[in-house]
């Protein structure tokens, strides 16, 4: 179980991507007063937490209702996580360049999709599979997710200082390293779904 929790931490960290979220937050809230920036950070993390907790509670129920097998979702999720990792590595800059408008940026794009990314939603459902993991393990995974969200909130509150220290280039490098880790982990998802890992063990 300890190895699972380490893997959960890496997967959730890379899919939420606190460093990348911090960079996006710094860019979008650069012109806001300090008090408004803090409120925006807290709201964004609260919304993201609500979305991800909902995915833990009802995500698999929705899949079952729609008749989607978890192995199909795991394969699709692995492919999407792979593409998401590539996006982190090569970067598109679409969110960073998005101009501030009248809508609440705490909801979009900060909560969704910057923090509660599609990859994070997919990952959290797979990591709390009711058919594989007991409730206790699912609770630990949820706690890990909340801790990472808390770290993300801390980074958002310190975004201006952190960016000054590591620079935009440093944040970009860290984001790409996390993207490479995510690509590797997404391949593991696909291999586990297809049973390739067990086949390799039998052959060897």
Buried/exposed code over 117-134 (b: 16+ C-beta within 10 A; e: otherwise)? bebbbbbbbbbbbeeebe
Looking at every residue in the chain, the average pLDDT score rounds to: 83
Distance from chain centroid for Cα 120:
3
Picking from 56, 168, 57, 152, the residue whose alpha carbon sits closest to that of residue 110 is 152
CB-CB neighbours of 58 under 10 Å: 12
Name the CA dihedral angle for 133, 138, 140, 141, rounded to a multiple of 10 degrees: 100
CA angle 3, 7, 158 (to 5 degrees): 125
pLDDT for 197: 57
0.85 exceeded by pTM: no
3-state secondary structure of 105: coil
- Low pLDDT (below 50) residues in the chain: 94-101
pLDDT for 100: 42
pLDDT for 94: 46
pLDDT for 99: 43
pLDDT for 34: 86
Cα separation, 79 vs 68, whole angstroms: 16
pLDDT for 137: 94
């Amino acid at each position: 179980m300890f190895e699972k929790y380490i893997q959960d931490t890496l997967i959730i960290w890379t899919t939420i991507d606190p460093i990348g979220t911090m960079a996006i937050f710094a860019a979008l809230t650069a012109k806001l007063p300090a008090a408004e920036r803090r409120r925006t950070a807290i709201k964004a993390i609260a919304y993201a937490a609500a979305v991800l907790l909902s995915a833990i509670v009802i995500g698999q129920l929705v899949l079952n209702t729609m008749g989607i097998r978890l192995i199909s979702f795991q394969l699709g999720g692995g492919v999407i996580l792979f593409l998401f990792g590539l996006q982190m590595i090569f970067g598109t800059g679409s969110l960073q360049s998005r101009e501030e408008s009248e809508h609440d940026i705490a909801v979009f794009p900060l909560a969704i999709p910057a923090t509660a990314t599609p990859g994070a939603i997919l990952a959290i459902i797979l990591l709390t599979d009711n058919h594989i993991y007991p409730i206790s393990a699912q609770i630990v995974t949820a706690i890990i997710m909340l801790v990472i969200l808390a770290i993300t909130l801390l980074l958002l509150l310190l975004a201006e200082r952190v960016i000054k220290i590591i620079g935009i280039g440093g944040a970009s490098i860290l984001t790409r390293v996390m993207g490479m880790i995510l690509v590797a982990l997404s391949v593991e998802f696909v291999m586990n779904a297809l049973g390739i890992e067990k086949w390799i063990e039998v052959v060897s």
